[in-house]
Structure 1
């Protein structure tokens, strides 16, 4: 990889056109040359935090092959910059690009705790696990500043409501006090995403995420404090991290994880162009090989929206990956299981305290 040819600290290396917009813009070579001669920056590469005001915060998940029924996202867009992230496409609904905009235009939902509390107090609401980060990471760098996720966890604890978290950031340990309190009543489950044991791969695949070492330490710390952890080996990308399935499973099990889950990468919507551009700049020696192997897992396409096959793929390479995951579960997770979250307490705490009568 030539570091001079890439945008430092970002996954995407371009802003692809928004499919909902008739017009688009591009950086012309003559403009870049003008900036170079005048010693000016053509792109300041800064992150902007933009407050938005949604009317609701919890979304019902309709997809039949996603293991969640409800999700909530305190932030839209994600500064982690994971190049493969399926959530990139959702940024187009907000009027931005799925490319660099997704990493640099972060939408902040400061009202999320209030909206969540309003929902949990409704007489018609029945307890069901709500997943934080069904779309974008609730412990991304913005959480350091705004602490919206922590405030939401306080609401879940107050109303004794089950919550599940998906993250790849060690910042979750900041809220260990709340997580331990939730765990006492079996109201919390954590899904830590770990896609590689290689820091070199992590840096270019997930540029602003927590290091692998810290993520493993986080799994261990959570487990030692009685908080159940599932590790997401997701996505598995052929010829990038597919050879690490067994070593990854072994290490995360040794650090206390109770289970693993996986998906095979699929590059829907704008992500296909973003990923293809990225890999040709960062891994030119294997770009075509990786892209062709991804296609072989999805009926000859980079994208795949077919329920039932899109997550785990099809064909020989997908079969090999799925078999390795089965082998890893049998070898390193025998006798381990993630507990089901407690749905029974919330009804008694609808008003934020135990009902006596």
Structure 2
């Protein structure tokens, strides 16, 4: 877990960029930092790997104060993806991806195997692309390489600074989907900076909305749009998204996507589609009496929901409907 305790950042000209924030980033979750330009979201992220030093307060990673960590070793243990991609043009795709593992002293067989594994993960055929240079790839392909390069040395934490914002809408949506797919498989701790509320709502487990160096609200995407903390958050989300949120929750909105059964066979469990409603899920718990339902999408398991998950969600939805009347 990454934890900020009363963290402030004041620049030499007196500008207070971060104003005493407290923030917990859970292990294995994708947390989006979002807000208007100049709100402090990129500064907050860059303080995690000491690209920007804090003025006061503490940042800890799994209980260890980063101020006591060597910054080079810290950065080598944290993946980093930026908007401009940052691939080295004179290196092949294979050399770019394997850069950090080689710096960390991995043996050739190990890092070559890792490169092949990651390229296959994002649909880049190693036999075709590994010896190419960045400029021989499209923008979307280059950004895929940028993402898997951050994963190459198997870091527990990945920082992503508006990585898809320069791409065309189709490539952007494809990479958002791929990031969700990858995260469902590897469960890294990801801090994702974005100015796009739709992107945050789509990919994040938790969203922190920032304004003027402070955090206005931290919640799940569903909680954010169903219960905005104040008028700023409400206006930032937008009325049309708030209206959409009044529809009934779906199983996919509340499932535990970390709960994947190791040797899964659909026949052994009661399953439910990811786009089933809570009412449909509740009906299955009544009729079938399972402890859990396995959530399916496109023939693959994507998570699970328990009886208590459904009861809590149904109760929450009932309260929300009552308050809106």
Q: TM-score range by the shorter chain?
A: under 0.3
TM-score (norm 2): 0.27
